[in-house]
Amino acid sequence: MSNSNPIGIFDSGIGGTSILKEIISLLPNENTVYLSDSKNAPYGDKNKDSILNLSVKNTELLIEKGCKIIVVACNTATTNTISYLRENYDIPFIGIEPAIKPAALKTKTNCIGILATKGTLSSALFSKTSEIFASNVKIIEQVGTGLVELIESGKLNSKEMTQILKTHMEPMIQNNIDYLVLGCTHYPYLIPQIRNIIGSNVQIIDSGLAVAKQTQNILSTFDLLNFEKEIGAHQFFINTNPKVLKKILLNIEEDYSVEKLEF
Ligand code: DGL
């Protein structure tokens, strides 16, 4: 494996680009391959076996493309499959799961909110983490029903989105949360709208930067950092119409080309 081989990143759709953005900004010389499995989004309503099969399919495609490390840029896939992937593939994996620990440590109102998919909130890993780190804190768990579907269909800033977000935030506001953990990589794109609804006193926790730092640490541990001087090249593959992915990538401020691929 050469150090210039790419970092592989996959998500159920376009949300993982919120992680990719942090990786590109922290590790500008790294090459990357991004898989957007939008055809199968959302993963959040699927059962564990289906999420596992999809994660295996994405992993094998990234390995085929020569990736040196895989970032599972999806909370739902991480919380349901990361131990299986680590046990069965001889490549390092980085995952993302809701950042309950910092929220539970810092809360003053003793009440925190978690917005995530049904698949993440019902996972054994999520229950274990909340038990270990937040047993003395009240957690308002909210399934983000409808949010991923609207983002995937290009309706990020629609009236429908505002309406759904208001409904999802209501129990959080009523319970006086002071930290809101975003437990899905699609949700950072909703921060401006969430902020309008919950006001400025609630801290929003998004783990994108932490995941990028962990990727850097693990690459360094395995002696896999790319020391080439050139800026990295980025490849994008999607199994539906590339339009929405291309649009969201403008947040990384480049006109990337996206290839449609059957996978
Ligand atoms: N981005 C995925 C996550 O972090 C979205 C899950 C879904 O497809 O429902 O969980």
Rounded average pLDDT over 72-99:
98
Q: Among candidates 39, 94, 100, 46, which has minimal Cα distance to 72? A: 94
Ligand 1 atom closest to the CA of 40, numbered from 1: 8
According to the model, what pLDDT value does residue 253 have? 79
Rounded CA separation 72/78 (Å): 6
229 and 170: one domain? Answer: no
197 and 126: one domain? Answer: yes
**Catalytic residue numbers?**
74, 184
113 and 88: one domain? Answer: no
**What is the domain-level CATH number for residue 80?**
3.40.50.1860
Give the pLDDT confidence of 42-80 residue by residue, as tens digits: 999 999 999 999 999 999 999 999 999 999 999 999 999
According to the model, what pLDDT value does residue 57 have? 98
254 pLDDT higher than 80: no
162 and 217: one domain? Answer: no
Rounded CA separation 220/193 (Å): 37
146 pLDDT higher than 80: yes
Please indicate, yes or no, if residue 11 is contained in any of the structural domains. Answer: yes
Asked whether the whole model's pTM tops 0.95, one would answer yes
144 and 22: one domain? Answer: no
Q: What percent of the chain has pLDDT over 90?
A: 97
| Ligand 1 centre distance from Cα of residue 71 (Å) | 14
Last residue of a domain, one of 158, 179, 205: 205
Q: Does ligand 1 lie within 6 Å of residue 12's CB atom?
A: yes
Q: What percent of the chain has pLDDT over 70?
A: 100
15 pLDDT higher than 80: yes
Please indicate, yes or no, if residue 216 is contained in any of the structural domains. Answer: yes
Q: Does ligand 1 lie within 6 Å of residue 95's CB atom?
A: no
| Ligand 1 centre distance from Cα of residue 74 (Å) | 5
Please indicate, yes or no, if residue 56 is contained in any of the structural domains. Answer: yes
According to the model, what pLDDT value does residue 174 have? 98
Total number of domains in the chain: 2
**Could you tell me which residue, 229 or 143, shows the higher pLDDT?**
143
According to the model, what pLDDT value does residue 213 have? 98
| Ligand 1 centre distance from Cα of residue 58 (Å) | 14
- List the domain range (segments joined by +) for residue 119: 100-205
Listing DSSP states for 169-185 in one string gives HHHHHHTT-SEEEEEST
To test ligand 1's pocket by mutation, which of 39, 74, 126 has the most ligand atoms within 8 angstroms of CB?
74
Rounded CA separation 76/45 (Å): 9
Please indicate, yes or no, if residue 2 is contained in any of the structural domains. Answer: no
201 and 176: one domain? Answer: yes
Q: Does ligand 1 lie within 6 Å of residue 186's CB atom?
A: yes
251 and 215: one domain? Answer: yes
